Structure 1
Amino acid sequence: MKLVSKTFTVLNTLALSLGMAHAALALDPAILYQRSSPAVVSIAARNGKAFNYGSGFITDPKGFILTNQHVVGTNKQVSIKLADGSIYSGVVVSRSAQVDLALIQIRPKKPLPSLRMQTVPPQIGQKAYEIGDPKGLERSFSDGIVSRIDGSGMIQYTAAASFGSSGGPLLNEDGQVIGIVQGGNPGTNLNFAIPAAAINSLPGQRGLVAQQRQQIGHYTLASNLQFRQGNYQKMLAILNEGIRRYPNNALLYSNRGTAKSSLRDYQGALNDYTRSIQLQPSSLAYSNRARVYVALKQQQQALEDFTQAIRINQGWGESNIGAAFYGRGEFQNQLGNTKSAISDFKQAAKFYQQIGNSERYRAALDRITLISAQ
């Protein structure tokens, strides 16, 4: 049980950190479905002589699946059907009737496709996509918007939900899970999802390291919320407290650098990004520090950091590597390095095209056309 809880807590902490570190991709819906649907599963759980049917999704390639508590009921084991048609016996390793969530573990023969969690609350009006098994129609896809968020964080949305949809993922345009579908009223827009942050309520034994990761995740979430609202001084205060308690955490320093940069304290931001890189080099920290160097008009250092961000590309994915090439292309153009700028924009366009981000793809092509015409 300790291993299960530790794995779950690590996943949750990583999810919390995505609120600010990952830029929205606005994937084409067809690409979003192609990438996300293989991680959605069908669940069957005994209910006396009958069965409860519902949906779920894989949160970790090793075989952890999240769904509703009311889908699994009191069962210790349930049947899981993956997108490829294979069927597994799943063990319910954690559950909470209070928040209506359950965590299931299966033991696959190979790593499975999984979805990432985005525990920063969504915004009312943003697009939302649902994948699930309404009335047994496996991996059905529907779209809508987030229409309301109540005081507890419960998400009301307009994508269609029906019997069998429960436990499936509610996704943002980036393909990240913003909620776990709880149910709805067919034929209406009154559909509801449990906020992704509620996964913190699932019980389990946690070791000291896992507890620290969770606490760091809370500092990250709280500071990210302030960032989204433009409250940079409050964001800075939260991260100051976090760093006081955890003085060797690279993510907290990187986020504080963002707070200071937003407040135009460029030297302070430079110091924090440098400390973050010393503790744990990352593409994001290098790229952010490069932008500070640009603000400080330290051209050579900026160019070196943009290049290093592209070189190591730790955990960014194609959206952020595209952003790094785009940023370096802009900087190369400012320096008058026309050929290098065009080369970088071509690389940016390549990565944006691969992920289906048509807006950023066209922007990169427009920059190439504009520079070539100069």
Structure 2
Amino acid sequence: MSRTRRARRTWGALASAAAVMLTVTACAALPVEPAALPDDFIPEPSASPGDGTGALSPDGFTAAQRMTVRVRNVGCGFIATGTGFALDSHTLVTNRHVVEDAKRITVTTYDGRSIAATAATTTTVADIAIVTTEESLGTAHARRAQEDPVEGDVITVVGYPNGGRLTSTAGVVLGPTTDPKGVAVGTVLASSASVEPGSSGSPVLDEDGRVVGVIYAKNYSNQSFIVPISTLNTLLSEESLFVPEASCAPNQYQATP
């Protein structure tokens, strides 16, 4: 695993500064804590994950782009968008708040295919949801890291900000902090990667193209928050922590195990 140059100085405890208002990246603003975080990291330019020789598919997309999908939640009286990424041909990860109160969930692949979800399960341990599909998502799947990134590591976020085009943005891990929403078990990570509404559920990648976390929120200082890969790996190994997500119109969309 490659390592990037560490940040030039060690920052103090993340919770020591004034509280900020947190904006959930696909939802409404919430009054939350955590402390204001340093935002003056300037990472050195680096290759996007998977940009090495042979990483591009014949159509010019990287593996990271091909595994990333747009998630569309048509609810009862609202439409929300987010991002997700494929674990295998029929399973993807996104955020719980992206699929909440859905009447119908569809995902769109990098090449424009629209695929209907057949089930969605969520957990209260973290802002994570698992969505399944009958139609194949494709052959590009996430390679999950086994260790969380550390302060100063350069990361790349791939997603669909504002429900628009597939984009990539770079940033630096600022360090661990408590969940600003106050619901996650354990710590989450803060980063300088700039994200927007619609980026929720985006994979966070290290320089080797491995998933090291999942974007789920941002604050008004444009710092983003990440469910670390250690949490995701634990959740995926404990299926009992997930429950079917209730639909706002059960006769039209039924989330089943």
C-alpha distance in 2 between matches for 1:196 and 1:189: 22
1:130 paired with 2:157, answer yes
1:181 paired with 2:215, answer yes
Aligned residue in 2 for 1:104: 131
Q: Which amino acid aligns with 2:231?
A: A
Matches within 5 A, 1:281-300: none
**How many residues are matched?**
182
Moved over 2 A (4+): 23-28, 30-35, 74-77, 91-94, 107-112, 150-153, 199-206
Aligned-partner SS, 1:29: coil
1:197 paired with 2:225, answer no
Quote the offset at 1:146 in angstroms.
Answer: 0.3
1:38 paired with 2:66, answer yes
Matches within 5 A, 1:1-374: 23-24=1-2, 28-29=47-48, 31-32=50-51, 34-60=62-88, 62-75=89-102, 77-109=104-136, 111-150=138-177, 152-185=186-219, 188-199=221-232, 200-201=234-235, 204=239
C-alpha distance in 1 between matches for 2:149 and 2:82: 24
Q: Which amino acid aligns with 1:184?
A: K
The one-character-per-residue Cα deviations of 1:197-254 (angstroms, maximum 9, x if unpaired) are: 2222366359xxxxxxxxxxxxxxxxxxxxxxxxxxxxxxxxxxxxxxxxxxxxxxxx
The one-character-per-residue Cα deviations of 1:261-286 (angstroms, maximum 9, x if unpaired) are: xxxxxxxxxxxxxxxxxxxxxxxxxx
Quote the offset at 1:88 in angstroms.
Answer: 0.8
| Cα contact 2:68–2:84 (8 A) shared by 1 | yes
Quote the offset at 1:49 in angstroms.
Answer: 1.7
Larger RCO (alpha carbons 8 Å, 6+ apart):
2
Aligned-partner SS, 1:150: strand
TM-score (norm 1): 0.45
Unaligned runs of 5+ in 2: 5-45, 52-60, 179-185, 242-257
Q: Which amino acid aligns with 1:29?
A: S
Quote the offset at 1:59 in angstroms.
Answer: 1.2
Instruction: Report % sequence identity.
Output: 22
C-alpha distance in 2 between matches for 1:165 and 1:158: 14
The one-character-per-residue Cα deviations of 1:319-369 (angstroms, maximum 9, x if unpaired) are: xxxxxxxxxxxxxxxxxxxxxxxxxxxxxxxxxxxxxxxxxxxxxxxxxxx
Summarize the Cα distance change of 1:96–1:49 in structure 2 as closer, same or farther, 3 Å threshold.
Answer: same
TM-score (norm 2): 0.64
C-alpha distance in 2 between matches for 1:75 and 1:47: 4
Q: Which has the higher helix share?
A: 1
C-alpha distance in 2 between matches for 1:30 and 1:204: 29
Quote the offset at 1:24 in angstroms.
Answer: 3.3
Q: Which has the higher strand share?
A: 2
Q: Which amino acid aligns with 2:47?
A: D
Q: Which amino acid aligns with 2:82?
A: G
C-alpha distance in 1 between matches for 2:129 and 2:63: 24
C-alpha distance in 2 between matches for 1:101 and 1:191: 16
Aligned-partner SS, 2:98: helix
The structure having more radius of gyration, on CA atoms, is 1
Q: Which amino acid aligns with 2:155?
A: A
| Cα contact 1:77–1:91 (8 A) shared by 2 | no
Quote the offset at 1:108 in angstroms.
Answer: 2.9
Quote the offset at 1:183 in angstroms.
Answer: 1.5
Summarize the Cα distance change of 1:123–1:69 in structure 2 as closer, same or farther, 3 Å threshold.
Answer: same
Summarize the Cα distance change of 1:24–1:92 in structure 2 as closer, same or farther, 3 Å threshold.
Answer: farther
Summarize the Cα distance change of 1:154–1:201 in structure 2 as closer, same or farther, 3 Å threshold.
Answer: same
| Cα contact 2:72–2:82 (8 A) shared by 1 | yes
| Cα contact 1:94–1:102 (8 A) shared by 2 | yes
| Cα contact 2:76–2:102 (8 A) shared by 1 | no
CA RMSD of aligned residues (A): 2.5
| Cα contact 2:119–2:133 (8 A) shared by 1 | no
C-alpha distance in 2 between matches for 1:162 and 1:100: 17
C-alpha distance in 2 between matches for 1:40 and 1:79: 13
Aligned-partner SS, 1:154: strand
C-alpha distance in 2 between matches for 1:154 and 1:197: 10
Summarize the Cα distance change of 1:76–1:198 in structure 2 as closer, same or farther, 3 Å threshold.
Answer: farther
C-alpha distance in 2 between matches for 1:73 and 1:41: 18
